Amino acid sequence: MKPARTRFAPSPTGFLHVGGVRTALFAWLLAKQTGGQFILRIEDTDKAREVAGSIEHIQESLGWLGLTWDEGPTKQSDRLDIYKQWAQKLIEKGRAYADPYSPEELQAFREQARADKRPFLFRDHRPENPPEWDGKRPLRFKSEPRAYAWHDEVMGNLETGPEVVDDFILIKSDGYPTYNFAHIVDDNDMDITHVLRGQEFLASVPNYLNLYEALGITPPIFATMPHILGPDGKKKLSKRDGAKDILDYREEGYLPEAMINFLATLGWNDGSEQEVFSREELIEKFSLKRVQRNGAVFDERRLLWLQGAHVRGLDTAKLYGIVGTKASAANFWPPEAFNEPFDDSYRLKVLGLVQERLKFFTELPELTRFFFVDLPVNPELINSHKQLKKLSNGELKDLLEQAKSSLLESDFSIDDLTARLNNLLEKTEQKPAVLFSLIRIATTQAPASPGLADTLAVLGKDRSLVRIDQQIAAL
């Protein structure tokens, strides 16, 4: 496949949400797959909607996901002269004219069209002798409506009649170009080969096609992405539905690999039954032709599962680097994890034990706190245990004393601990559900923890015995 030059062209109006990121991802995958370039372009032609800091925020978001750009960010506001030059060409060719109407007059036309239950077309009101364009009025494209049939890599073959082509605005009265005009000039200037964009632009394509012709530009390949849907399965996912800033997922401790896997398989699959993909596999296997035409509901439970799958698949040492160290700008450990005498080796062992039950990283403190702090005895853990609550305090104490005297002799290796725990089972004639539960509760004071022998081995002899004593004293 020839090298593709794709672009992601957000407007700096706030944070990036999953929909925008997925479009960026697909464009990036296409560029990587073909050995082409991925370009970041900022569509800042609407001064009123611009939000300070969003350009940096967008770059931060793409950076987190590893969607690095080869060129840009280029701001459209820096290219005003270029749009004016192309506009001038259109004026000279008689394909652009000044819009003589006031906003109020325009609004009246629209309302009339609405009342007549017909679509509004500006060209129905095209002035016979438009004033010369002074840069203070909007400049409109003089369309030459005709029917179009074109191909969209995702949507397939599309066609429309001439009735949908209209005289849209090229340059606004503030001197800035519209998206409709600027993106065509820019894509041409930047040699963009594939334009990926959301479904909301589909209806405008005939207009663009008409403009491409007037400009003498060969259109790029179009690929229209279906919407990502909210929980109702109908409308586009919105902030109201909980569409979050993509960087929020970083704060919650999601892996960029999991997010990318999730987004890529929301509306795309390779035709096999594979669900978990690495970044490299996505680059290799992605294809626009296999992108769904229908919208897909954003289901965070699927993201959660994928996150777990990626976390489990990671080398523990690598995961350790990701959840952060004391020196990191941010880490996900409970603060006590950095108290004396806990070191990297201890924390690494703890992480190894909780890795398979770790989903997003903000869960790490509740999963691991008891490895770093002697939690107070929680009587509820025994009182609510369906076997332990039947035993008297004397019986419980006796079991713990027996455990203690055996563990006192142990070297706390996994093998020795396992052997001793099994011996205790025989000696006390108790079921694991009783004995192991009791020791587990005594040594962790947590509703859930990794396997008993593993946990004891990591806690070590001193901490384990202190906690057993603590439990005995509380009975």
Partner RNA sequence: GGCCCCGUCGUCUAGUGGUCCAGGAUAUCUGGUUCUCAUCCAGAAGAUCGCGGGUUCGAAUCCCGCCGGGGUCACCA
Report the residue from 72, 145, 308, 365 that binds RNA according to the rule CB under 7 A: 308
User: Which tokens go with 70?
Assistant: 């080869």
Minimum separation from the CB atom of position 329 to RNA (A)? 28
Q: Are 71 and 190 in contact (CB under 8 A)?
A: yes
* Of residues 338 and 363, the one with the C-beta less far from RNA: 363
> Which residues inside 57-76 make contact with RNA, applying CB under 7 A?
none
Minimum separation from the CB atom of position 103 to RNA (A)? 5
**240-243-244 Cα angle (round to 5):** 120
> Which residues inside 173-202 make contact with RNA, applying CB under 7 A?
173-174, 176, 178-180, 199-202
Q: Alpha-carbon distance 288 to 51, whole Å?
A: 32
Report the residue from 6, 23, 37, 45 that binds RNA according to the rule CB under 7 A: 45
User: Which tokens go with 68?
Assistant: 């690095």
Q: Torsion over CA of 43, 47, 49 and 52, rounded to 10 degrees?
A: 80
Is 229 one of the binding residues for RNA (CB under 7 A)? Answer: yes
Here's the x/- map for RNA, 139-168, by CB under 7 A: it reads as ----------------xx-xxxx-xx-x-x
Helices 344-354, 452-459: axis angle to 10 degrees equals: 170
User: Which tokens go with 63?
Assistant: 């950076």
Report the residue from 94, 216, 233, 394 that binds RNA according to the rule CB under 7 A: 233
Is 127 one of the binding residues for RNA (CB under 7 A)? Answer: no
> How many alpha carbons fall within 13 Å on the CB side of residue 407?
28
Site residue total, RNA (CB under 7 A): 92
Of the candidates 47, 234, 239, 326, the residue annotated as catalytic is 239
Q: Alpha-carbon distance 16 to 120, whole Å?
A: 32
User: Which tokens go with 235?
Assistant: 């409308």
Residue 441's nearest CA partner among 396, 378, 399 is 378
> Which residues inside 267-306 make contact with RNA, applying CB under 7 A?
267-269, 271, 273, 275, 290, 292-297, 299, 301-302, 304-305
> Which residues inside 197-226 make contact with RNA, applying CB under 7 A?
199-204, 226
Minimum separation from the CB atom of position 309 to RNA (A)? 7
> Which residues inside 338-377 make contact with RNA, applying CB under 7 A?
356-357
Q: Is 38 helix (H, G, I), strand (E, B) or coil?
A: strand
Report the residue from 64, 120, 346, 412 that binds RNA according to the rule CB under 7 A: 120
47 belongs to the catalytic site = no
For the chain, the C-alpha Rg in angstroms (whole number) is 32
Task: List the catalytic residues.
Answer: 239
